[in-house]
């Protein structure tokens, strides 16, 4: 009995093996990308609240339409506000924000770092709750100190 030892694979089997290896590599990369996207959107880096005037809210994007907004944070009266950009993914929150454009609001957000695409939002800050702030509850900016009472300057009593 004579044993036949294969020297190498035929060219057709080599192409098939390389094709399967390439397909496995592509599927592995896609699975890792999907896992990273899920992780970055599921776990937040930080959470918090911000309050200010909802200055702008719009649905924008060329291919991936996202809901984006701007909150004007007034630190001190008379000083230009700091603008804070945010994204929204919940349709109920989107409706609340459209109703409150131009008003003082308090926003609850979570920050997600490392989101791999702008199709989820242009910023890493995702708002998930809106609380309208009553204008009467907001303390007014401090007034300038009043001039001391007494005779006008340049006059004698």
In the prediction, which pLDDT does 58 show? 94
Query: Nearest CA to 69 among 42, 46, 43, 96?
Result: 96
- Spans in the chain with pLDDT lower than 70: 1-16, 135-157
- Domain boundaries along the sequence of the chain: 12-43, 44-137
In the prediction, which pLDDT does 86 show? 96
First-to-last C-alpha distance (Å) of the chain: 136
In the prediction, which pLDDT does 59 show? 93
Cβ atoms 140, 106 nearer than 8 A: no
pLDDT in tens, 33-76: 888 878 777 778 889 999 999 999 999 988 889 999 999 998 88
Contacts of 99 (CB under 8 A, 6+ apart): none
What percent of the chain is predicted at pLDDT more than 70? 75
Q: What is the C-alpha separation between 101 and 32, in angstroms, rounded? A: 39
In the prediction, which pLDDT does 102 show? 92
- State which fold the 44-137 domain adopts: OB fold (Dihydrolipoamide Acetyltransferase, E2P) (2.40.50)
Cβ atoms 138, 89 nearer than 8 A: no
Q: What is the C-alpha separation between 22 and 7, in angstroms, rounded? A: 24
In the prediction, which pLDDT does 49 show? 94
In the prediction, which pLDDT does 77 show? 80
Cβ atoms 66, 119 nearer than 8 A: yes
């Amino acid at each position: 009995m004579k044993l036949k030892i294969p020297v190498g694979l035929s060219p057709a089997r080599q192409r098939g093996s390389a094709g399967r290896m390439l397909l496995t590599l592509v599927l592995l990369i896609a699975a890792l990308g999907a896992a990273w996207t899920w992780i970055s959107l599921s776990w937040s880096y930080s959470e918090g609240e911000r309050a200010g005037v909802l200055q702008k809210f719009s649905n924008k994007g060329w291919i991936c339409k996202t809901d984006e907004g701007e909150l004007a944070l007034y630190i001190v009266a008379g000083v230009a506000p700091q603008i804070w950009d945010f994204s929204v993914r919940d349709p109920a929150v989107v409706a609340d924000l459209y109703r409150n454009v131009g008003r003082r609001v308090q926003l609850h957000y979570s920050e997600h770092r490392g989101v791999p695409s702008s199709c989820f939002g242009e910023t890493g800050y995702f708002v998930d709750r809106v609380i309208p702030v009553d204008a009467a509850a907001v303390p007014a900016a401090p007034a300038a100190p009043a001039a001391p009472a007494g005779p006008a300057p340049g006059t004698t009593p």
